[in-house]
Amino acid sequence: MELHRVFGSAGDVGELVAAVRAAVERLYALFEREPRVLRLLVVEAGAIDPELSHRLFGLEAMTASLIAGELTRGMEEGWIRPDIDPDVLGHTIFTMAGPWIMRELLGAGSPAIRDRSMTVALGLVEKTLRPSAAGPAPSAAATN
């Protein structure tokens, strides 16, 4: 996945979500071209080789950190709501792809399932990130 196309180029939430969708679509295309290689890397090799397993977890941490950086940039530029925790949400957004990937690895994926999963998950992300026209809602502590 070419992360430079996803991170650092978006100017609003819609552009960021569209870039993430395009990146996930490229990942699905890779699954279709090389399903055995991905199964080996993601499932089997991690169980066989502790070093590879450690590297895969490092890849997750690096990707979540890149997402958090992009969320922070969007917050600073005002196109992402200011009341989120970019580190927590960075890991959360990354892990939302887990069920999609597992479906593919188990051979249960289909274009319809992929599109529905992406539409629902990315719609949730977009609603979570988009600043409210009225500003952030007051916290529960502030209203008591």
Q: Is residue 47 within 8 Å of residue 53, measured between CB atoms?
A: yes
22 assigned to some structural domain: yes
**pLDDT of residue 140 exceeding 60:** no
Q: How far apart are the first and last CA of the chain?
A: 46
139 assigned to some structural domain: no
Higher pLDDT, 41 or 34: 34
- The residue segments making up the domain with residue 86 are 3-129
57 assigned to some structural domain: yes
Instruction: Single out the residue of 27, 22, 1 nearest to residue 10, CA to CA.
Output: 22
What is the Rg, in whole angstroms, of the alpha carbon atoms belonging to the chain? Answer: 17
The number of distinct structural domains making up the chain is: 1
33 assigned to some structural domain: yes
The average confidence (pLDDT) of the chain is: 78
Mean pLDDT calculated for residue range 113-119:
86
Q: How many CB atoms lie within 10 A of CB 74?
A: 23
51 assigned to some structural domain: yes
137 assigned to some structural domain: no
User: How is 5-53 classified by DSSP, letter by letter?
Assistant: HHSS--SSHHHHHHHHHHHHHHHHHHHHH-HHHHHIIIIIHHHH-HHHH
pTM of the model: 0.72
Label residue 46 by pLDDT band (50, 70, 90): low
- pLDDT tens string 59-75: 778 888 988 999 999 99
Per the document, the length of the chain is 144
Q: Is residue 65 within 8 Å of residue 89, measured between CB atoms?
A: no
9 assigned to some structural domain: yes
143 assigned to some structural domain: no
